[in-house]
Chain A
Amino acid sequence: MRGARHAKWAAAAAAVALAATACGGGGSGGSSGEGVLSAWWGDPQNPLEPANTTEVQGGKVLDMVMRGLKRYNPKTGAAEDAVAEKIETTDAQNFTVKLKDWKFSNGEQVTAESFVNAWNYAANVKNKQKGAPFFGYIEGYDKVHPEKGDPTAETMSGLKVVDPKTFTVKLNQKFSTWPETLGYNAFAPLPKAFFDDRDAWLSKPVGNGPYTVDNYAKGSAMNLKKWEEYPGADKAQNNGVDLRVYTENTAAYNDLVAGNLDLLDDVPAAQIQNVKNDVNGRYASPAAGIIQTLAFPFYKPEWKTEGAAKVRKGISRAINRKQITESIFHNTRTPATDWTSPVLKEEGGYKAGLCGADCEYDAAEAKKLITEGGGIPGGQLKISYNADGGSHKDWVDAVCNSINNALGDNKACVGNPIGTFADFRSKVTKGEMDGPFRAGWQMDYPLIQNFLEPLYYTGSSSNDGQWSNKDFDKLMNEANAEVDTKKAVETYQKAEKVVADDMAAIPLWYQNGSVAYSDRVSNVALNPFSIPVYGEIKVN
C-alpha cells in the first residue's frame, strides 16, 4: 500500500495548503489604511484626460480628482456652481464666467486660463480627445477641429480671458441651457503641470477635486487620498479610496461577500436576487440617467417604409417589458414609457406614458400590427448585441422569446451576438446592421436635450440608426434657442412625440444603478450618473 500512502500524503498536502490560504487571506480588507475604503473599478479604456474620458470608469476618477465650473448635485442632479462664482448671459449666446478663488492640489491657482487652455486643448483635433465634440457649440470650434485636415487655428475664437478670474464664451448658436452642461467632466480645468509634462500628469493626474491621486498602478489599482485643503463644499468624509480593477464583476462580488472589498457599484445581474441576503441589506438600486432601447437601421430601405413603422410598433407591443424586468433584472430596471429618464423629473422633461399604448404589451395587437405592416423585413428579426462584457444575452433572448410567443413562431426572432464591443460599434457606425440592435444611452448631463439631440437629430454623433425627420430637427432647433426653460422643455417634448410617432427606437427600460457595500462603510449613494458619491461615504 505504499502507493496509497503517497496519494494520501498528496491529498493531505493539498488540504493543508488550502487551509493555509484561508489563514493568510484574513483581514486583507485592511490593506486599506485607516478610514480608507476599497472600491471596485473597471480599467479605463482611454488615458485619463478630462476630455478623453467618455465612459464611467474613467469618469469616476475625474469626479474625485477634478472640479469644473459646475457640479451636478448627487441627489437632485441639478447643476450647481463649483469653481464658478457665476455664469451670466443676456442673449443665450454670450456668456461671462466669473471664478471663485480655488487652487489645484499642487498649489497652482485655478485661473481663467486653466479653463480656456484646457478647453482649447480638448477641442484641438491634433490632441485626439474623444470628448472634443462637447466643445462644438463654442465659436471657432470648426477652425481647431475641421472635419478633415489640419486645424487652421490653435485656439477657439469664442473663448476670451478677461482677467485671471473672468473669461467670456461666445457660442455659435443660441443655447440657453448651455451652462447646465458644464458639470460634465470634459469641461474640467487643467493645471500648467499638465501642459508642461503630459505623460507625467497622466501617470499621476493632478486636479482641484476633493481627492488627490496617491499612487496609480495602471491596469490594476489607484489609491486616492483625501485632499485636506480642498476649497469646495463637498469635502471628502473619508480619508481615501482604493480603486481596484477586477477582471470580472463576479469575482469582485465574491470578494465583497467574503469581506475583502468595501464597495461594488456593478452587482452582477445573476446575483441581484442574492445580494440583499449576502450583504445584509447593504444594497441600493437608485434610478440613474440610463435608458436602454432597440435602434433600427434606417439606412436600409426596408426599415424606412410606412409599414415598417407599424412593424416597429408591433414589435414594441410584443415585448413584455414588465415580465422581463422582473424575471431577468429583478426590478433593477423599470419598463420605459418614454425616451428620456425619470431622473430628469417632470419639470426636467420626463413624461411617463408619452409612448402610450405603443409601449404596452399586447400579443394579439402586436401580431396584427406586424402583419398589417407587411411582416418582419427579411422574415426573421435578428437583434444584434456585443457578447463580451455586460450580460446582454439574457435580456436579448428574453425579448426574442417574448416576440416569438406573441407571434406564435419560435424562430421569428433570434439574438445575434457580435464577438467584441469594438466590432459591434464599428458595424453600427459603419451602417452594417440588418435589423434592430442594442442601444444604451447614459446621459452626459441631466437635460432632456441630452436624451434627444445626440440620438435622433439628423447626423448627430450617436444617431446610430441614421433616423432623420425634418419636424423633429426643427422642433429641436426651436427648443435649443428658447430662453425660458419651461417653454424649452415643452418644445423638447413635442420633438420627442415625433420620435414616438415614428417609433424611431423602441424604448425598453430605464436602468437603475446598483451598489452593494460592506459593513465597514455607510452613507453610500449613487448619483444620477450611477457613479458612487465617494466623498460622502463614511468609513466606520
Chain B
Amino acid sequence: MGRYVIRRLLQMIPVFFGATLLIFLMVNVMGDPVAGLCGDRKCDPAVAAQLKKDFGLDQPVWQQYLTYLGNLFTGDFGRAFNGQKVTELMSTAFPVTFRLTLVAIVFEIVIGISLGVLTGLRRGRPIDTGFLLLTLIVISVPTFVTGLLLQLLLGVKWGWVKPAVSPAATFDELLLPGLVLASVSLAYVTRLTRTSVAENARADYVRTAVAKGLPRRRVISRHLLRNSLIPVVTFIGTDVGALMGGAIVTERIFNIHGVGYQLYQGIVRQSSQTVVGFVTILVLVYLVANLIVDLLYAVLDPRIRYA
C-alpha cells in the first residue's frame, strides 16, 4: 500500500513538468502580451521594451521556462501584469472555488445517486424514461445557456436568489452556481448509477440477500449500492479536477472570483505566470483526486488490493 502510494506520487513528477511546459509554450504562442496593456493605443516602444525585460519576455522561451521553474521551487509563483502576486491571487481564488466545487459535488452525490438508484430499480418504467430524458436534455444544453437562463429566472424574474455572488461567496450564495456547474456531471452520475444499479440488481448476491428475507432498504444500501458505486466514485473523483478548473463559464456568469475567473483573466491577458501557476495546482489536485479514488476502491471492493 505505502509503496503503491509512493509510486503514484512519483508518477506525478513527469506529469508536472510536461503540463507546465506545455501550458507555458501555449501561452507563449499567443503572442505579445504587453501590447494589450496600453488600451487602444500603441505602447510607447521604450516602455514596452522595459516591461518585456521586467517580465523576462525578451529571453528565449526555454530560458523563460527554466527561470520560471527555478522561481517555482523557491515558492515564487511570479506576478500578474497588474503587479499582483500569483500566490495572492491563488489564496483568494482557491477557497472560493473549493466551496463551489464542494457544493457541486454534494449536488452530484445527493441528487445524482438518488435519481440513479430510483431509475435503476425502475428500469424501463415511465419514471425511468422521464428522468432519462431529463438528464439527456441537461447534457445537451450548453452550460452557459442553462446558467444564463437560471440566473435570469431565479435571480431576476422571481427573485429567489441573488443573481450575482458577492466577494464573500458564502455557501448559500453558491447553491445556484453549484447546481449549474454540477448539472452536466449530475446527469452523468445519474446515468452511471442507473446502469450500474440495474446490472447489479440481477447479481446473485442481491438475489441471495433478498431470498434471505433481508429488508429491502438493507439490501439496497448495504449490498446493491456499495457494489454499484465503483464507477460512480471514479467519475466523481476525476470530476473534482475538472470542476475546479472547468468553472470558467459558470464563474463568469455568476460573478464568482474563483480559479476559473482568474484563469480566464490570465489567459485573456496572456499572463503565463498566472496561467501556469493555476494550472499546476489544478493538475496536482486532479492527480491527487485520482489517487484517492483508487484508494477508495479498496474500501468499496474488498477484492482489490494494492501492491
B-contacting residues of A (Cβ < 8 Å)? 2-4, 6-7, 9-11, 13-14, 17-22, 24-25, 28, 31, 43-47, 54-55, 125-126, 128-130, 132-133, 145-148, 202, 217-221, 244-248, 250-252, 254-255, 257-258, 260-261, 388-389, 419-430, 439-442, 454, 461-462, 464
Contact = CB atoms under 8 A, between A and B. Distances in A.
Contact of A18 (B84, B117, B160): B160
B61 interface: no
A46 B35 contact: no
A257 B89 CA distance: 29
B177 to A, nearest CB: 11
Q: How large is the interface on B (under 10, 10 to 19, 20 to 34, 35 or more residues)?
A: 35 or more
A7 B81 contact: no
B36 A132 contact: no
Contact of A254 (B89, B110, B156): B156
A219 B257 contact: yes
A462 B40 CA distance: 8
A134 to B, nearest CB: 10
A46 B270 contact: no
A426 B36 contact: yes
A229 B139 CA distance: 59
A426 B50 CA distance: 16
B261 A247 contact: yes
6 contacts: A21-B160, A47-B82, A248-B252, A420-B30, A425-B35, A426-B31
B40 A420 contact: no
B18 interface: no
B259 to A, nearest CB: 12
Nearest to B50: A128
B168 to A, nearest CB: 9
B173 interface: yes
A7 B269 CA distance: 45
Contacts of B268: 388-389, 420-422
A473 to B, nearest CB: 18
B114 A10 contact: yes
A250 B41 contact: no
B246 interface: no
Given A255-B164, A422-B36, A422-B269, A248 B253 contact: yes
Contacts of B47: 125, 128-130, 132
B35 A426 contact: yes
Contacts of A246: 164, 255
Given A21-B176, A219-B84, A420-B268, A54 B41 contact: yes
Interface string B153-188: 011100111111011001011011001000000000
Contacts, number: 222
Nearest to A28: B166
Given A21-B175, A440-B40, 15 more contacts: A10-B111, A21-B162, A43-B265, A45-B36, A45-B269, A46-B82, A130-B43, A130-B44, A218-B82, A250-B148, A420-B267, A422-B37, A426-B31, A439-B40, A462-B41
B118 A45 contact: no
Given A3-B121, A54-B39, A130-B38, A17 B175 contact: yes
Nearest to A202: B83
Say what secondary structure dominates the interface of chain B.
Answer: helix
Contact of B152 (A14, A254, A261, A440): A254
B114 A258 contact: no
B193 to A, nearest CB: 11
Interface string B203-225: 00000000000001100100000
Contacts of B175: 17-18, 20-21
A20 B172 contact: yes
A428 B32 CA distance: 11
A64 to B, nearest CB: 19
B275 to A, nearest CB: 12
Contacts of A55: 39
Given A28-B162, A245-B257, A462-B42, A4 B118 contact: yes
Contacts of A148: 46, 49
Contacts of A4: 118, 127
B270 A251 contact: no
B115 interface: yes
B167 A130 contact: no
Nearest to A274: B156
B122 interface: yes
Contact of A258 (B156, B256, B261): B156
Contacts of A147: 45-46
Nearest to B84: A218
A389 B270 CA distance: 14
Contact of A252 (B31, B173, B251, B255): B255
A251 B252 CA distance: 8
Given A54-B38, A247-B257, A248-B255, A24 B172 contact: yes
Contact of B36 (A244, A245, A425, A464): A425
B46 A145 contact: yes
Interface in B63-116: 81-84, 88-89, 92, 107, 110-111, 114-115
Contacts of B170: 24
A246 B176 CA distance: 17
A46 B41 CA distance: 14
B33 interface: yes
Given A54-B38, A220-B92, A423-B30, A247 B256 contact: yes
B150 to A, nearest CB: 10
Contacts of B88: 218
Nearest to A22: B160
| 10 interchain residue pairs of minimum CB distance | A422-B36, A426-B35, A254-B163, A3-B118, A251-B255, A426-B32, A25-B162, A425-B35, A255-B164, A251-B164
